[in-house]
Structure 1
Amino acid sequence: MMSSRRSEPSLSKLSLITGKINRDTMTLLIIILFAVVLRVIGISWRPISNDEASHIYFGLEVLKGKYAYDPEYHGPLEHYMIALTILILKGWIMKDPFVLVWAVRLSYTVFSLIMIVVVYVFFRDYLGKLGSIIAALLFSISPEFLYYSRFAHEDIISVSFAVMTFIFAYRFYMDRQMKYLYASFLTFALLFATKENWLLYLGIWMSYVIVIVLIEELLIKEKKDTLFSRVWRFISETFIRSDVTEDGTIIYRLKRDTLKHLLIAFVLSFLVAFAMYSYFVYPEKFVEALLGPFHWVKRHHAPRIIGPLYYWFDRIWLYELFLLPGIILAIKKHRDYVSEMLLWWFVISFVGYSYMQEKLPRLMMHITAPAILLVSKYLGGVFSDFGKVLRKELSSKDSLRISLVSCLFIILLIISAYQSVLLNYINYDDVREPLIYARLTREWQDVYRTIEKIYSEKGSVRVLIVWEEGDYGLWPILFWLYYVEKDFREINVSYVKMYESGVLNTPEVEKYDIIICYSSKDQGKIHGFKLMGRFIVLKWIFHEKWTTETTLEGFIQDFSHYLNPRFYFLREYDSSKIETLEYWAAVYLKER
């Protein structure tokens, strides 16, 4: 299953003292710098979305001492993090509210960066030297990981802690060092405090061990170095010691030191999770957190976003095309237990999230994370052999095969990098991208800046919001006006909501500085106001049929959309064949 050979990068403390940086340290620093630059560029271009507004709202509630856990809005870790970010940068935010946008999003990027470091440093003996570099680079530029590490939502935190928990548990198995025991317990506690899918991760990992042990013990006659024997050997070597008495009797005893570390790790992790969920005020919330996953089981039966079983296949095809052949070739070449567990992790996640009817695009990270690790190991070997081909160290027969495979994956990786650039820096607010949903368009940033300008000139801003029915999509705008501008920054911004558009034809509107009309009708001209523009509040493009049913005919029709080169590379599509839903609002400014 696993070799005892250590292959961690030599990131020595001495290099920090002497000022000398070895090659491994330099490689890691370059990768981290690369990842940071990718995450910082344009991080505040997008206006705050529905979900981000909700999370920042709860961060503000933490500062007011009013926060209480609600599984609908996930674990408390991110809300505490947002509260801390706001507390540290409050002075800047009071002067410029846009600091809030990039500061909060930047705090989320930290977790993806830590995950990259952990993958590079602590998973190298499995991935190999080149494989660890490839994995770190893939997590840096992967379309979904890059996009949602620049997005204030808990999934990047959750998947980062899941990957770290797995790697630290692996390292504890390999080295028997207590620091990895503590690290695995702590990262799992933080995963538990982040999102309710902690139970799914635990179930995936444990189910692999149980299934393989049962298969090997019950179905395989020739039992040699099985998973059960390895697990038992690990338990006996780590937690049990044997003593021989004077008469030659062997007595087995538990290792008290190891059990002490295990108990301390468990207690510390429990206290971290309990403190976060209870907020030192609501101890019953910890019990509610244990039952939190079942809230999302109910949500499966009353979903907000639905789709057929091939929903995630379409997105992997579009954004991470190299994973599809990579997984097949990787498991064909590597038959060790770790590779099999990563494959199991990917398959169960893919099947599970395909079945679940709460298909939020950001969940794709939970599916692709183990696949990226598995394929990185394979690519490390392929590109290492390709280097030998270039140095003419292999036979011509092997050279042709290796060269073809290497060139194929280089092309596929370039396509994935292109998709990442398209998603993150060009179409970052465009729902033509299947990974984007429920987002205000970039023009709303100009509306917010206009509000700031009016306030700086007049010392107050009055906003009238008119809509006919419902307010789906307006929450981020209302959040910005009330909770950011009025409540937090304490500037004189007031808004009035009215459901009758007839008010626009009365003198009543003259006292407002800005009018936002959220209506299916074009209001035309409003006396005393000029039209700033009509901006998208919410837009859906249904790349797949809005249905829970999966049919071959539906798959062929929907997948043909992804096979179209104009959509694949330019996101151009035939609007007559793709269903869209659009909500927009007209913004009017008072004439001077």
Structure 2
Amino acid sequence: MKYIRNYFHIREISKLTRIEWLLYCCLFTVALLLRIYDLDARAMHHDESLHAYYSWELYQGSGLTHNPMLHGPLQMQLTSLIFFLFGDTDVTARILYVAAGTILVILPIFFRDLLGKHGAIMVSILLSISPSMVYFSRFARNDILMAVFTFGMVITMWKYLVSGNKKNLYLMSALLALSFSTKENAYLLVGTLGLYLTLSSIHESWPRKNYRDQFPNLSYPRLVFGYALMTFKTLRNSVYTHPHSRAFTVLIVLISLTLPQWSAFTGIFQETILLRWSNIILVSGEGASNIGMPTHGGKLLAFLVVFSLIVGSMYIGYKWHWKTWWKCAVIFYLIWLSAYTTFFTNIFNGVQSGIWQSLGYWIVQQGEARGGQPTHYYLTLIPIYEYLPAIFSVLASLYFLKHRTKFNLFLIYWTVITLFLYTIASEKMPWLLVNISLPLIVLSGKFLGDLFSKSSFKSKPNLNQCMIYFVPTISLIIAFSVTKYSSNLHPIPRVFAATIMLSLFLAGFVLVVRFIQRYETHILVKYLYAGFATILLLLTIRTTIYTNFVNSDIPIEMLVYTQTSPDLLQINNKIKTLYVKPATDNEPLIIIDQTNGFTWPWSWYLRNYTNVKYPKLQSESYEPHEQASIVVVHSSNHLAADKALSKNYKKVGKIPHRWWFPEHTYRDLNAINLVTKLTDTKHWNIFLEYWLFRKGVGKSIGSEDAYIYTSNTFPNIDFVGDSYRE
């Protein structure tokens, strides 16, 4: 029992005080309620229905073959287990992600020694109420799973760097395998941590000399060359140093275990002068039957690459510390193989798709730039949803750059490099905000914890402290009021008001930073921060509630992106009410036009009905069929359907099948019109109206529509979709 407690860091829990126990229990309860309440109220998103349906097929005994379009197979396997235990419903299809999001909230307990007692609590608070974390904990996508594994890897990495306990390497190996079995941004995670560990290893081995002082007359090009040479020698010395530094040890584990997973990365060279002449295809492009896989002569080259990297990884492990490495490798590959082969039921195809196609497919997709979002996409999302950790992360960076420790600098590095990588990646999606928000929350939570741990709020606040506490709230109210009033004035007063407020904000920020740097331990500074954090916390809670319980499937939220409309859920609920137990004799015929992917989410919703047809209808003609209970037709085909179905069916009307946020509202943003918007309170008011009340975008919601036809005996359905466009 003692061994298990030490192995899983349960001793960290034993250090908690009674107040901490109470706080974490409350946070756990709040997090769980926010994530599980009314979980089936939102219509199943297209991606959710795919994940749920293939999980259901596995649960039904049809097996599971890894498809890189759906990312790693782990989420489907775990969801199928949940279906086996609790049945298949919309709630159970999402319960895995609820559990992951709730677990994420309590992980800071195991990081308490580095975050600090107060810092760990602050991180847990921010994780529990984060709009994006809550939303994607209620969403059947694997991003929240990746957040858990990412945070777990960061924790175990630092546990090893501090203690040197090899058990942390074994835990990291397991988390690494789970990450690669979940989603391909595991490659970005390995790159992020690997770069940090490389820099840390170089720093630890770097000779403590100032070469600039030693060679004052050395030209800058020669100095740069000299430093580059020193860096190479330092890194080489790190390799041959025994025992290795802890940072270099973790780096070896990361590189050696994941080296074969990078095999498909060689596909980026197939269009270069190195391979173009040979016509070798290492990653097949769009239109191929097996996107991301090698073909013809490329198969042999791919095999040689994979084999070489496997041998190379084993050689690295052997030269490093074989007794430790083989244990890490067994843990990693046992989990990885179990996931990609669906517990060894699909060994050959599972291994080749996992080790090559999982990366190869997404190399191809980077060229497609799915979503086509602008570079500033996340810089638009963050101020709308994660403004609290974003603002305090900026302040934290300034504070921690002055109070430098390895851990504080790592948090800054992790935050900056993560935002940078996801910004330059060609595919930008709202669910990827989870990966950006996590380091923002940890950095800002650590900062707030450090700040409040150094002061006492036990004594009764005096008048000055109360005034300072309410300064941020009063300032925001004044700014909102001036913006609202001046937005209706002529352009010149609007520009004047905006310029004055911008100047005041900038001056206030500079003064606050200077004041904090000089009087950082002053109690008034703590009250100023506490007041600012309180108002932002309340606004964040409001944002979380509106995003997750009011507008959860309405694309007036940028976070919603492209979403199945609630009208489909209305139809599905009506079908389930009318036909509770479908039988082969009297089961209704349901026709779903599969044009442009309309099969989803119906395949999930109607999975238990056997008399469902998915024809691909035409706009010119409509093929007759037997009398159906309900017919769903893509809007491009409705004219032909009108003629064919007018006699025997009721035309219920047009509904949005899937709809999306009006992207023109932010796509055209650039440096020039940003300055224009910042210097006019009319644009300030437009942003505030959206930020606070989500006004101004409803009429511009885009959609792909369907026409609904029902039998004359089918009850009427009250559709609500178009009401949100008013």
For the aligned pair, the TM-score class normalised by the smaller chain equals 0.7 to 0.9
Does residue 511 (structure 1) correspond to residue 627 (structure 2)? The answer is yes
Does residue 302 (structure 1) correspond to residue 368 (structure 2)? The answer is yes
Do the aligned partners of residues 43 and 349 (structure 1) sit closer, same or farther apart at CA in structure 2, a change above 3 Å counting?
same
Does residue 327 (structure 1) correspond to residue 393 (structure 2)? The answer is yes
Task: Please state how far the C-alpha of 1:575 moved relative to its aligned partner.
Answer: 6.7
The partner residue of 1:453 within 566, 577, 581 is: 577
The partner residue of 1:475 within 580, 597, 600 is: 600
2:169 is aligned to: 181
Do the aligned partners of residues 573 and 88 (structure 1) sit closer, same or farther apart at CA in structure 2, a change above 3 Å counting?
same
Larger radius of gyration: 2
Deviations 1:488-521 (A, max 9, x none): xxxx4323535246877x9x57711112232156
2:296 is aligned to: none
Do the aligned partners of residues 473 and 590 (structure 1) sit closer, same or farther apart at CA in structure 2, a change above 3 Å counting?
closer
- In structure 2, give the amino acid aligned to 1:356: A
User: Aligned partners of 1:562 and 1:339: how far apart in 2?
Assistant: 37
The partner residue of 2:656 within 514, 520, 536 is: 536
2:38 is aligned to: 42
The partner residue of 2:91 within 93, 98, 102 is: 102
Correspondence list, 1:10-89, <5 A: 11-12=13-14, 22-63=18-59, 64-89=61-86
Task: Please state how far the C-alpha of 1:222 moved relative to its aligned partner.
Answer: 6.2
Mapped contact 2:170–2:328 kept (Cα < 8 A): yes
Task: Please state how far the C-alpha of 1:562 moved relative to its aligned partner.
Answer: 9.3
Does residue 314 (structure 1) correspond to residue 430 (structure 2)? The answer is no
User: Aligned partners of 2:591 and 2:676: how far apart in 1?
Assistant: 44
Do the aligned partners of residues 260 and 574 (structure 1) sit closer, same or farther apart at CA in structure 2, a change above 3 Å counting?
closer
Mapped contact 1:539–1:583 kept (Cα < 8 A): yes
Correspondence list, 1:173-322, <5 A: 173-214=161-202, 221=209, 235=244, 260-279=323-342, 280=344, 281-283=346-348, 285-291=350-356, 292-322=358-388
SS in 1 for 2:544: helix
Do the aligned partners of residues 375 and 473 (structure 1) sit closer, same or farther apart at CA in structure 2, a change above 3 Å counting?
farther
Correspondence list, 1:316-355, <5 A: 316-334=382-400, 335-355=404-424
Mapped contact 2:12–2:112 kept (Cα < 8 A): no
Task: Please state how far the C-alpha of 1:537 moved relative to its aligned partner.
Answer: 0.9
Number of residues paired by the alignment? 541
User: Aligned partners of 2:652 and 2:157: how far apart in 1?
Assistant: 56
Deviations 1:322-369 (A, max 9, x none): 223311221222222222222222222212211222111100011111
- In structure 1, give the amino acid aligned to 2:693: L
Does residue 426 (structure 1) correspond to residue 492 (structure 2)? The answer is no
- In structure 2, give the amino acid aligned to 1:305: G
1:568 is aligned to: 691
User: Aligned partners of 2:535 and 2:555: how far apart in 1?
Assistant: 26
SS in 1 for 2:540: helix
The structure richer in strand per residue is 1
- In structure 2, give the amino acid aligned to 1:138: L
SS in 2 for 1:564: helix
The partner residue of 1:364 within 433, 445, 460 is: 433
| TM-score with structure 1 setting the length | 0.81
Structure 2 gap ranges (5+): 1-8, 212-233, 250-316, 466-518, 714-726
Bigger drift between 518-527 and 403-412 goes to 518-527
Mapped contact 2:390–2:440 kept (Cα < 8 A): no
- In structure 2, give the amino acid aligned to 1:345: W
The structure richer in helix per residue is 2
Do the aligned partners of residues 588 and 26 (structure 1) sit closer, same or farther apart at CA in structure 2, a change above 3 Å counting?
same
User: Aligned partners of 1:557 and 1:464: how far apart in 2?
Assistant: 51
SS in 1 for 2:457: helix
SS in 1 for 2:416: helix
Do the aligned partners of residues 408 and 27 (structure 1) sit closer, same or farther apart at CA in structure 2, a change above 3 Å counting?
closer
Do the aligned partners of residues 485 and 65 (structure 1) sit closer, same or farther apart at CA in structure 2, a change above 3 Å counting?
closer
Mapped contact 1:386–1:406 kept (Cα < 8 A): no
Do the aligned partners of residues 575 and 133 (structure 1) sit closer, same or farther apart at CA in structure 2, a change above 3 Å counting?
closer
Task: Please state how far the C-alpha of 1:104 moved relative to its aligned partner.
Answer: 1.6
Identity of aligned residues (%): 23
Bigger drift between 197-206 and 277-286 goes to 277-286
User: Aligned partners of 1:509 and 1:25: how far apart in 2?
Assistant: 64
Task: Please state how far the C-alpha of 1:532 moved relative to its aligned partner.
Answer: 4.5
Do the aligned partners of residues 437 and 345 (structure 1) sit closer, same or farther apart at CA in structure 2, a change above 3 Å counting?
same
SS in 2 for 1:305: coil
